[in-house]
Amino acid sequence: MNEKYISRSSAIAARLLGNEMMIMSAADSTFFTLDEVATVIWQAADGQTPLSQIAGRICEQFDVDHQQAERDAEHFIDELAKHGILMLSDKPAINFGPQQER
């Protein structure tokens, strides 16, 4: 199976409020909040970490099986990709240095 990689769009507003991530797309002003599982995916979306590894982190933290975690992650990624917030690729992104995460 080919690995998948996800990265965050560069012009997206995001901030952790309590345990939820707030996200707003400048392109269409859509406002989202992410639950704890989705926040883990968002924070791991560095373009370098394979989706299978992200699913592994979810399994460790939230007591779900790997297949379920990967299915949930793909569903979440598809939703955010529709709004141009996450980008999905079958190759790792070129690394321009660490993204600032808050």
| Residues at the interface with another protein (CB under 8 A) | 10-18, 20, 22, 24, 26-27, 29, 31-33, 100, 102
Report how far apart the first and last C-alpha atoms of the chain are (Å, whole number).
33
Q: Shortest gap between Cβ of 33 and another protein (angstroms)?
A: 6
Whose Cβ is closer to another protein: residue 15's or residue 71's? Answer: 15
Nearest CB to another protein, comparing residues 1 and 102: 102
- What does the alpha-carbon distance between residue 30 and residue 22 come to, in Å, rounded to a whole number? 11
Give me the least distance between CB of 46 and another protein, in Å please: 14
Is residue 6 within 8 Å of residue 88, measured between CB atoms?
Answer: yes
DSSP secondary structure, 21-35, as one string: EEEEETTT--EEEE-
Of 2 and 19, which CB lies nearer to another protein in the complex structure?
19
Cα angle: 41, vertex 98, 83; to 5 degrees: 45
Least Å distance, CB 74 to another protein, is 24
Q: Six-digit token pair at 56?
A: 């592994």
Q: How far is the CB of 89 from another protein (least distance, A)?
A: 20
